Structure 1
Amino acid sequence: MRRFLAQALVIARRDFGAIVLTPTFLIFLLAPLFMLSVATIGSLGAMHVVEDGRERAVVLTGPDELPRLRKAEQRLRGIVGGDPAPPQVSFEARERDAARQARDLLSRDGVSAVLFDGRVLHTERGARDGDYLALLGAAASGTQPAIKALSIARPEGGAHARNATAFGAVFLLFFLSLLLASQAIGMLAEERNNKVIEILAAAVPLEAVFLGKLIGMLGVALLFSAFWGGIAGTAAALHLGGLSFEAIAPATGLASFAVLFLCYFMLCFLLLGAVFLGVGAQAGTMREIQMMSLPVTIFQVSMFALASAGASAPDSTVGVIAAVFPFSSPFAMAGRAATGVPAWQHVVALAWQLLWLGITVTIAARLFRRGVLKSGGGRRA
């Protein structure tokens, strides 16, 4: 096993140097400048998640007062308008102990302010929503009531923030895999045409060749990510005057989330890269590789769609399927790292993905040996 890994690392070092130490690598490094449209689509999707999870204001009222309050709210919303828009307002039946009911509502994620019995309670971040309910109370009663506003502190980073972080993690993995992992589909084309792959296959096991090429491409991907991550972090620091990670609020903690995201990024790249390398190894010409690019892209988008569908509901049927299916598992588990799941699930998921990485590399190498080297008269490894 040690010799196998040493052989794979030799191939990885060779491929890494052959890619990075060329002028064309600079063009590849600047490729995201031409993919801003994809990033814009993803950011709009993340904004949609945040908008869907926007906190609401609640009015506690009895059945006699409800029609008057609804009309007043519709009239006030048309007058206030503006950007940002007024909060979403829902009406709920008032219980006997309305004050306790209001505090219970504010202790939940998604409720920012409550109006009841001429009083307004709001969270520290819901002061604007509390002012809106105060205006609503005045509009409904016809006179300015004695409204007492109380602030209730609540920890940052509720469920909606975690859901947005989960979607962002899934999208970032998709973006990086779309940009980087799909490059593996054409890695063997040149070496297959000039017979270099036959020389490598005669010297080391073909599985080591495939794994080494994947590790070399992973090194390129990590270098690429570090370069653009550093630029993005520096730009954010200069623009914001200091970074604040409170809005990210992953359930596992920021440091643990960063480590888990890095692990899932590497396994996502290796798993998808193994599939693409195996598919591309069957192609004999650049035309065939171009023809395979569409199925590869569809496969990536399908994994992203499956994982993003279960990002905000990891325990749903779709969420469980996305976490179990090996090629969507890194996406889904990166989202689960944000929403919060037991640590043993991450351990099992990483082991499961490593197992499938070995299976995929073995299958890809055997298909290449039997379908290409053997049919082409090359030496069997």
Structure 2
Amino acid sequence: MNSTRRLIRQTMTIARRDFIATVFTPIFLLFLFAPLIMVAFSTIGAMGAAQAADHGADHVRIVAIVPDALAGSFVEADRRSRAIFRRDEEPPALVTLAPARDPAAQARAAFESRDYDATAVLYGPLDRPTLLYGARGSRAADYLAVLAGSALAAERLGGELPRVTPTKVSFSRQRATLGGQNQTAFLAVFGVFFLTLFLAGQVVGTMAEERSNKVIEVLAAAVPLEAVFLGKLLGMFGVAVLFVGFWGTVLGQVTSVLPPAFSGVVGELSPAVGLPIFAILFVSYFTMAYLLLGSVFLTIGAQATTMREIQMLSLPITIVQVGMFTLTLSGLSKPDSWLARVAEIFPLSSPFAMAGMAAASPSLWPHALALAWQALWVAIFVTLGARLFRRGVLQSGSTRPFWRRKG
């Protein structure tokens, strides 16, 4: 057996050991269902907030103080105009009042009514109406002005506006829209970022237990440290693949029962390179992002001696990930700028940026170069981490991390 095959076999042995030790534990079920727990609590909070908002919105009204002869036209104009709004975007319900002796005083009194919460009140002649509105009633006042124009036009046309009977035909585009490509690029970047943020940070603590029970010395004596580092990285990546595969299957079944309107929205999110190739590139860049960030985190975590130090490393690690995400989004907004080139070339942000490029640009040859470039940096980070661990922890006999050792 040559040295390359032996190294691969040793690496896969370490990876299989870490994968089994992580997956076949009760705590892994808690980790696997963590998104479900987060979604459940978020849904409960959102439902409570929505119920509170709906309860308050049920009492909000817009008020039109108009003569009885115009009240019907006003109500009809409101009925026609309201049909173009989504349910959650509809203006408040309309209330019409007959003018009193002092319409201005009546309008001010409408804001003090105990029967409803007036957000905007209209009074005066329809060609020159006066609109009073509260803190959040500016758009409602604009809506009342539109209704006044429609009611005035109906009055001058004899009491009713002409009816229009349109013929609506659904049409599917043959190619992706520019807006759809940009949205797909953002979702691709966010998807890679979210998965690596949620999964790659676990690599930090994989060496802590090995150092505490002295197993790392046995492993280092049996196999090269490069195989130990790469094996642990691949083992944790296998855990991440299991997690993504499980939730990908669940979401795939959920989206199959969603209404057709949702399918139409998803259809607009068409990547420039085509959906099959984009799926392959997305998986490839998630893999590279995990291996790159995981190798860096494994190197840093291997230098820590206690769980407290590992916990303290969590914040800088999160800041690094958010920084890469921010850099990528900045470059994505200006595809031909130098900032975009920096995001595509810098190793830790390159997977994010290239995932966005796959959605926004049809070119394929840059992805071959990018994947080779990222794989090179994975090898560099793993080799560097193994050498730092060998020289800083094993050979010197010191248990202090490199940032706490004197030169």
Q: Normalising by structure 2, what TM-score?
A: 0.65
Contact 1:173 1:265 in 2 (8 A): yes
Partners in 1 of 2:181 and 2:365 — Cα distance?
A: 20
- 1:311 alignment partner in structure 2: 332
Give the CA deviation at 1:313. Answer: 3.5
2:236 counterpart of 1:233? no
- 1:365 alignment partner in structure 2: 386
Residue 311 of structure 1 aligns to a residue whose secondary structure is: helix
Residue 258 of structure 2 aligns to a residue whose secondary structure is: helix
Partners in 1 of 2:39 and 2:322 — Cα distance?
A: 17
Q: Deviations over 1:138-196 (max 9, x none)?
A: x9xx9999x9x999975342111011111001111111111100000000000011110
Q: Deviations over 1:177-226 (max 9, x none)?
A: 11100000000000011110111111111011000011111111011001
- 2:356 alignment partner in structure 1: 335
Partners in 2 of 1:373 and 1:273 — Cα distance?
A: 22
Contact 1:156 1:247 in 2 (8 A): no
Query: Which of 277, 280, 285 in structure 2 is aligned with 1:256?
Result: 277
Flag the 1:172–1:272 CA change in 2: closer, same or farther, 3 A.
same
Contact 1:170 1:311 in 2 (8 A): no
Query: Which of 286, 301, 307 in structure 2 is aligned with 1:280?
Result: 301
- 2:372 alignment partner in structure 1: 351
Task: Give the unaligned 5+ runs of structure 1.
Answer: 41-75, 87-134
- 2:29 alignment partner in structure 1: 26
Query: Which of 215, 219, 224 in structure 1 is aligned with 2:243?
Result: 224
Per mean C-alpha deviation after superposition, the further-off stretch among 257-266 and 314-323 is 314-323
Give the CA deviation at 1:2. Answer: 2.3
- 1:171 alignment partner in structure 2: 190
Task: Give the unaligned 5+ runs of structure 2.
Answer: 44-77, 91-148, 400-407
Partners in 2 of 1:31 and 1:198 — Cα distance?
A: 34
Q: Which amino acid aligns with 1:261?
A: F
Query: Which of 194, 211, 214 in structure 1 is aligned with 2:230?
Result: 211
Over aligned residue pairs, what C-alpha RMSD do you find?
Answer: 3.3
Residue 27 of structure 1 aligns to a residue whose secondary structure is: helix
Partners in 2 of 1:320 and 1:36 — Cα distance?
A: 36
Q: Deviations over 1:105-148 (max 9, x none)?
A: xxxxxxxxxxxxxxxxxxxxxxxxxxxxxx99xx9xx9999x9x
Contact 1:166 1:312 in 2 (8 A): no
Partners in 2 of 1:231 and 1:291 — Cα distance?
A: 34
Per mean C-alpha deviation after superposition, the further-off stretch among 230-239 and 307-316 is 307-316
Residue 396 of structure 2 aligns to a residue whose secondary structure is: coil
Partners in 1 of 2:189 and 2:340 — Cα distance?
A: 12
2:176 counterpart of 1:157? yes
Partners in 2 of 1:26 and 1:332 — Cα distance?
A: 32
Partners in 1 of 2:210 and 2:197 — Cα distance?
A: 23
Give the CA deviation at 1:37. Answer: 10
Query: Which of 266, 271, 286 in structure 1 is aligned with 2:287?
Result: 266
Partners in 2 of 1:318 and 1:267 — Cα distance?
A: 21
Give the CA deviation at 1:344. Answer: 1.1
Q: Normalising by structure 1, what TM-score?
A: 0.69
Sequence identity of aligned pairs in percent?
54
Give the CA deviation at 1:310. Answer: 2.1
- 2:6 alignment partner in structure 1: 3
- 1:114 alignment partner in structure 2: none
- 1:293 alignment partner in structure 2: 314
Flag the 1:358–1:39 CA change in 2: closer, same or farther, 3 A.
farther
Give the CA deviation at 1:35. Answer: 4.4
Contact 1:252 1:338 in 2 (8 A): yes
Give the CA deviation at 1:375. Answer: 2.8
Q: Deviations over 1:304-334 (max 9, x none)?
A: 1111222343322221111110100001101
Contact 1:181 1:272 in 2 (8 A): yes
Aligned residues: 292
Q: Which amino acid aligns with 2:363?
A: P
Contact 1:156 1:246 in 2 (8 A): no
